[in-house]
Every structure is written in structure tokens, then in C-alpha cells.
Amino acid sequence: MDSELGRKKAGLVFLPVPGRGHLASTVEFAKIINKDNRFSITILNMSTKLPGRPPLPASTRESITSSGLDISFVDLPPVETPKETAVEAFISVFITRHAPLVKDFIIRLQSSSSSSVRVVGLVVDLFATTMAEVGDELGIPTYVYFTSGAALLSLMLYLPTLDKKIESEFEDLEGTVDVPGLGSVPPLVMPSPVMKKKSPAYWWFVEHGRRFRYMRGIIANTFRALEPAALQAIEEGRYLPSDSDGPTPPVFPVGPVLVFEEEDPSHPCLSWLNNQPPGSVVFLCFGSMGALPDAQVKEIATGLERSGHKFLWSIRSRRTPGFAPPVDANPEEVLPEGFVERTKERGLVWPSWAPQTAILSHEAIGGFVSHCGWNSSLESLWSGVPMLTWPIAAEQRLNGFELATEIGAAVEMEVNYKDPEAAVGAAEVERGVRSLMGETEAGKRARDRARQLRSASRAAVNPGGSSNEALTRLAAQFLSTL
């Protein structure tokens, strides 16, 4: 190593998807890996003109800038908006169009006479695997930051093989699908993008899974005590074809990576919870992009009212097509007449996004009706709160299945996956809520398991924990190429 390189600081370039779940988690991970400022990190923010995806909040940038961490943000110029309508295909094409911009930025960063950085890693989103070509051209190792769990990672790694083994559509398949580390999976709980082989979304899922195999490493937002079987299957290369001897990239389970919102104790949701008994309230929230049809909202309301349990319900509505996020709901329009008045003594309807992490950590919360997005699932387990699974899109079906059957910290809602437009009836909502809140043995087991994982998740990130050690190994691997 010459003296000039010896003086350079190890640089990491992050490329997250500009959607709340992916972007916030990636930024938080950047803060964690750079907590002692060993790296100079640049987070590339892709075009703010992506429909329905607002730019990174100024407050987030300001808080990081003022923290003293060597993390900076660079906005890339806009690119042509893709015409694909499937979300996963749209995002994959959208990211690929940024390749020349990412390459140009890294070249300028390293060639500047004033630069004190040598890029030792390109860390990309799970939908940005095509960026490995940029890394290869520049001689920079490419890593994937996988924002979901090891079960989905195992499936995606296995999907190129599964694609050749199963000729029919997964939605038409009889029996089960064997996924390494997860066992026999009902075909209808496979991620929605892979249900139709002729769809562009399916093709991209297979392609990303194939490219994962050739990354320098995969950084996963999970922890060993949560998904031991899936992580072991990946590390042993059980997703590979029988005639293959590799490669198996190293996997670094560094989770749970959680984004804790700045808590406002005076928020109406928290103020209301302060007056409720411990463990008595069921919280309903369906994610940053989650909004249910008005007819379904009415069924939920009826089921909640019949259940007799206290509830806090974050309701949002979808008023525009495409990728735009939901908007604040009007309770008078979507709820049954008189519902709010009849349940005012035991329930609160909040017609907007709620401070989820603060709510889940409140002692009054006893259960979480969730869409099973991975970030929300980790937040719930961090607080020891069991879940009632209500998947809506993407990989949430697989997450819900794993949470209920493999992990054991959730109760399954009976959702008609063959007809996603079919509403879940009030009777099923009532049954699910009663079970979640401990009225059945299944609910009691889920509550006990959630409490166990509360301790395990904290132990993982503490000094000596499995995720802390994985983070140490990852940092050493980054620095080894300096």
C-alpha cells in the first residue's frame, strides 16, 4: 500500500430505494456501522421525482449532520420514469437507470485531488443488484443491504433453482413448496410478485436472487435467535442446485435495525394510552403504504366492537391510484354510523399515521394487528408484542406465515389469498382479536414467545451478541480492502 492510499479513509457508498421502509432502515444501518467514525459514508438519494416517494426528510439529514458522524447525502439527478406498472419491476428498472450516475459519482469522489476517501464498498438495496456491474467496473466490492428477513432471502436465493424445478404457476401448484430453512410453505403465501411467472415482477425477483449469489456479502436485518434455521440454510448453501459447489456469499445478520421516532409524549395516541391498563389495548396499523377498502374498514369496525377489547386504530385511505401513499382518513366516511360514539370509552380511532414505535413500546399495548412488513414485525418483537397477521402485499404473506408457524410470535388471520379483493369478515376479525389478546391457547403461546424475543433481540445487538459480532466482522471485511 503506497503512502497516499495509507492516508485515505475507508469510504462506503450506500444506494437505498427511496421508499420509507427501505430508506429509513438503510440510513439507520449507516449510522450503526459508522458509530465510531471509522468510515466516510455517502448516501445517494435517487431522484425525488419518483411517484409517491417524497425525498428524505430534511430533519433526518439535519439530525445526522449535527451528530458529528461522517455521513453525507448526495441527491442524484432525475432519470426517465419507467413505464412498468408492477412495483417491483418499476423500482428495479428505475434503479438500473441510475447506474451511469452512480458510476460517475464514485469516479469523481475518488479522483478529486482534495478527496481523502477510498471507496471500499458499494452497499445497495435488495432491488439494486444490477449496481454490482458498476462495482465490478470500478473494482469495488458490492454488498446487498437486505431490508427483510432471512426467510425471504433464502427463498430469493433459491428462486432461480425453483424456477427450473416448478413449471406451473405457484398460485396453481398443489401441495407445498420446500424453502431451505423454512420447510414446507403453502404456495399461496409466497410473495405476491412471484405468483405469476409471466409478470415482469417475477422475472426481476428471479434475477435479483441469482445476482445475490455473486455479491461480496449480504447484510441482513435479522438476528440469529429469530431465524436460526433460515440463516443456517443460507450459510450452508442449501439454496444452490445439486450440481453446484457455490458460491455462497457471507451473510451478516446485524438486526434488528430499528428506526426510533422522536417521541412526543403529548401525542394524542400516547396520551390516550397513558390512561389504559397494562397490556389491554390492541393496536391496528397497516404500514406506511397500507390502506384498506372502505368495505373492509367497516368489517374491522364491527369485529372490533364485538370483540369487547380496547383498541387503538390508525386508519388511512387511498384516494389516488399508482404508487402514491395513503392519505389521512375521514372517519365519518369510512366507519359504520355511530361506531366512534359507541366505542369511545374503550377505543381511539386515529385518522392518520401514528407514532408506531412509541405506541408498540407503551405498556398498555397487548397486541398488534399488522400487515407484517418486516420493519413493523421487528418493532413489535423488540417491544415483546404478539401480532395478528394481516398481509397486504409484497413479501408480507411469507413474513406472516413465518411469524405464526416458524417463529411462533403471531396468530394467523384467515385471509383469502386466492381472492385478495375479498373482505375479511367481522366474525374473523373478532376471532382473531380475541385470540391475539390471550383468549385462546394459540394467543397465549404467541404472547409468551413475543416476550422471549424481546429479550433475545436486545441481547443480539448488545456487546457480545450475535448481531454485534456480525457487525464487527463486516467492518473488518470492509477495512480489509483498504
Stretch 309-331: mean pLDDT: 73
Alpha-carbon distance 102 to 477, whole Å?
A: 22
Using pLDDT thresholds of 50, 70 and 90, give the confidence band for residue 2.
very low
Question: Which range has the worst mean pLDDT, 35-44, 164-173, 434-443, 467-476?
Answer: 164-173
SS3 407: helix
DSSP conformational letter for 172:
G
Q: Which three cell numbers mark 286?
A: 397497516
| Structural contact between residues 255 and 29, judged by C-beta atoms closer than 8 angstroms | no
Alpha-carbon distance 25 to 219, whole Å?
A: 12
Task: Please identify which residue in the block is written with the cell numbers 433459491.
Answer: 158
Asked about 309 being catalytic, the answer comes back as no
For the cut 60, the answer to whether the pLDDT of residue 323 exceeds it is no
SS3 258: coil
Q: Residue 211: which of 147, 163, 143, 149 has the closest Cα?
A: 143
| Structural contact between residues 21 and 376, judged by C-beta atoms closer than 8 angstroms | no
Using pLDDT thresholds of 50, 70 and 90, give the confidence band for residue 272.
very high
Strands of the sheet containing 310-314, edge to edge, are 347-350, 310-314, 281-285, 365-370, 387-389, 410-412
Q: Which three cell numbers mark 257?
A: 435495525
For the cut 60, the answer to whether the pLDDT of residue 450 exceeds it is yes
For the cut 60, the answer to whether the pLDDT of residue 321 exceeds it is no
| Predicted model pTM | 0.93
Question: Which range has the worst mean pLDDT, 53-62, 126-135, 253-262, 367-376?
Answer: 53-62
Catalytic, out of 75, 104, 125, 243:
125
Cis peptide before 256 (omega within 30 of 0): yes
Alpha-carbon distance 65 to 67, whole Å?
A: 5
Q: Which three cell numbers mark 170?
A: 405457484
Asked about 267 being catalytic, the answer comes back as no
DSSP conformational letter for 55:
P
For the cut 50, the answer to whether the pLDDT of residue 1 exceeds it is no
186-213 core/surface letters (b: 16 or more CB in 10 A; e: else): ebbbbbbbbbeeebbbbbbbbbbbbbbb
CA 160 from chain center: how many Å? Answer: 22
CA 74 from chain center: how many Å? Answer: 23
